[in-house]
Amino acid sequence: MWYITKREIYDNLNSLRFALTTVLLIALMATNAVKHLREYPKRVQKYQDAATESLNRLTDRADDSLYKLAQYGPGDFYKKPSPLHFCANGGELLLPDTVEVREPPVFATDSDDNVLLKGIWSLSYPDANLQNKDVGPNVSQVDWAFIIGYVLSLIAILFTFDAFSGERERGTLRLMLANSVPRHTVLIGKFLGALLSLSIPFALAVLVNLLLISTANTVHLTTEAWGRLGIIFLLALLYTSLFLALGLLISTRVQRSAVSLMMLLLMWVTFVVFMPSTFASIASSFSPVVSFDEFWKQRNPVREDLWDKYEEWLWSEKLDDSTLRAKSKFYTENAERDERRHEERLKYWTSQVHRARAITSISPATLLQHLIEAFAGTGFERHLQFAGNVQRYARQFRGFVVDTDRGDPESLHIIGVREGMSQKSVSSKAVPRFEDTLSLSKDFNTVAMELLLLALFVVVLLAAAYLAFVRVEI
């Protein structure tokens, strides 16, 4: 078997396609690295400025008083740019990179614009950035997902379309099988040969890319990031095997290599280029035309008017326990309702996106895109993770406010009302910090299904190629 593999590799190394592939892949990967080096520092700078400002705001509020902290909440949250952004762009331009903390709403003012009733903060999730400002041509970025998903898969087909049909045309297949070599050995040899000779230029290109990126001092890759890169590299090989297996399968069944290439190319165009967008269109046309507002109205037909419910207490200026408690309840319920509405909206839209993603998963190119996005820490799932982290932090933050308030003996422990809360300042160090954690095991969990599906595709195609080759007449 190793002889066959070795022969295949030697054959390929001298071929025109090998040279062209190497040049093409290196050019693409180098461009990708240069682009990343140019943009990543800017992105990080922007994030750090925003995050520092947000943290300063939090410190100011903590220095002021616990009440201020309870009323205004933490500053806005920002999504940390992924250092592996060059692997998958993940529609970052379209996705919002913040979760906003809304200013407390003003419920009533007197005639001289003095605020009488002011609520407390709540979270809100910005919509996707619709990007209608840019009128330039719409192209996809050259990231690893593009290079692997489109270019490498096309090259994989070009490497295998004549694996058997070409040898059959030249008559060498008959010759080889005349030796005492089992057919499956031939198949595996061919497969490994193609895979190895394809991974050489790819590994070379990846090396150039990573060398460029890691030698620059602007991008710092942690051990975990290297691990993730390793996983992405393996994914690329798995994905390439899929197309190699497809190439072998078609090549065994078809007599002439030109016909085999034709069939493969058409399949490739359909599955890789058109299927994702067509199925996404189909999926989005299935999604209900009902806007979220209508959906919300249907779900909550009787809008309980909080104002009516608490009116008798809201206008009173008394500072007794029941009035303050009613005010606190009014503020909290309002904030909760706002927040729930925003959350529901995100959920409503997320479910639609997930449905569309599930449908487009028929195309292996989309599967790969999702996988790389997940491991590079970009894209839609990452956005949801970020939102989830923010929600968890918000709970923690609220818990912290209540706990600290409990520690102050002068306070009445009525959250959200000035008179009912501790007025002491809080050490800003004691306030919990927002941490946007990413864990590899969690990422594995989110894409386990996709990973399985991709592996399944490969196994099925390889098995089919095996069966086809064993039964075929030479």
Partner 1 sequence: MLVTLIRRELLDNLMTFRFAAAVFITLLLVVVNTVVLLKDYEQRLTAYNTATQESHQKLRKEKVYSRYAMYLTVHRPPNPLSIFNLGLDKQVGNKIAVYHAFVPTVWDAMKHGANNPFLNLFTSIDIALVFQGVLSLLALVFAYDALAGERERGTLRLVLTHPIQRGYILFAKYISAMLCLLVPLLISLLLSIILLTTSTSISWNVDDFLRIGGIILTSLLYISLFYLIGLCISAMTRRTSTALMLSMFAWGFLVLVYPNLILTAVDIVPQPETQTSAYNQIKQMWEELDRENKKFLRNDTVLGPLSRDGEAWGFRLKGSEYSFLRDEDEPSTLLYLYQSGFYAGKIKAESEPHVPHVQNYYGFHNREVVRTVQRTWLVRKPALEAIYIQPAKFGGMLLKFSPVGLYDAATEAWAGTDLEGIQDFFSTVRRYRRAVIDYFYDKKIFESRQWFAADQGTADWDALPRFSFQRSGVDINAKRALPDLCLLLTINLILFTIIFLIFIKSEV
How far does Cα 389 stand from its chain's mean position? 15
Query: Which residues lie closer than 8 Å to 226 by C-beta, 6 or more apart?
Result: none
Among 52, 56, 215, 281, binds partner 1 (CB under 8 A): 281
Cβ distance to partner 1 smaller for residue 38 or 442? 38
User: Quick check: 270 binds partner 1 (CB under 8 A)?
Assistant: yes
Read off the tokens for 400: 């912290």
Contact 127, 96 (CB under 8 A): yes
Cα separation, 38 vs 439, whole angstroms: 27
Among 191, 243, 380, 393, binds partner 1 (CB under 8 A): 380
Read off the tokens for 77: 């949250």
Q: Is 171 exposed, middle or buried (0-12, 13-18, 19+ CB in 10 A)?
A: exposed
User: Quick check: 26 binds partner 1 (CB under 8 A)?
Assistant: no
Contact 244, 159 (CB under 8 A): yes
User: Quick check: 302 binds partner 1 (CB under 8 A)?
Assistant: no
User: Quick check: 98 binds partner 1 (CB under 8 A)?
Assistant: no
Contact 144, 372 (CB under 8 A): yes
Helical residues (DSSP H) of 269-320, grouped into ranges: 275-286, 292-299, 306-314
User: Quick check: 172 binds partner 1 (CB under 8 A)?
Assistant: no
User: Quick check: 352 binds partner 1 (CB under 8 A)?
Assistant: yes
User: Quick check: 194 binds partner 1 (CB under 8 A)?
Assistant: no
User: Quick check: 171 binds partner 1 (CB under 8 A)?
Assistant: no
Among 203, 265, 468, 474, binds partner 1 (CB under 8 A): 265
Query: Which residues lie closer than 8 Å to 217 by C-beta, 6 or more apart?
Result: none
Instruction: Report 99-138 residues binding partner 1 (CB under 8 A).
Output: 127-128, 130-138
Read off the tokens for 25: 């892949």
Cβ distance to partner 1 smaller for residue 128 or 464? 128
- Closest contact distance (angstroms) between CB of 282 and partner 1 is 6
Cβ distance to partner 1 smaller for residue 27 or 211? 27
Query: Position 260: which residue type?
Result: S
- Closest contact distance (angstroms) between CB of 11 and partner 1 is 12
Helical residues (DSSP H) of 147-289, grouped into ranges: 153-160, 165-170, 172-178, 183-215, 223-253, 257-268, 275-286
User: Quick check: 16 binds partner 1 (CB under 8 A)?
Assistant: yes
Cβ distance to partner 1 smaller for residue 33 or 417? 33
- Closest contact distance (angstroms) between CB of 238 and partner 1 is 21
Q: Is 298 exposed, middle or buried (0-12, 13-18, 19+ CB in 10 A)?
A: exposed
User: Quick check: 437 binds partner 1 (CB under 8 A)?
Assistant: no
User: Quick check: 374 binds partner 1 (CB under 8 A)?
Assistant: no
Cβ distance to partner 1 smaller for residue 135 or 178? 135
Among 259, 306, 468, 474, binds partner 1 (CB under 8 A): 259
Which range binds partner 1 by CB under 8 A, 9-17, 58-66, 387-395, 433-441?
9-17
Among 1, 7, 22, 24, binds partner 1 (CB under 8 A): 24
How far does Cα 207 stand from its chain's mean position? 24
Read off the tokens for 238: 């798995």
Which range binds partner 1 by CB under 8 A, 89-97, 220-228, 324-332, 451-459?
89-97
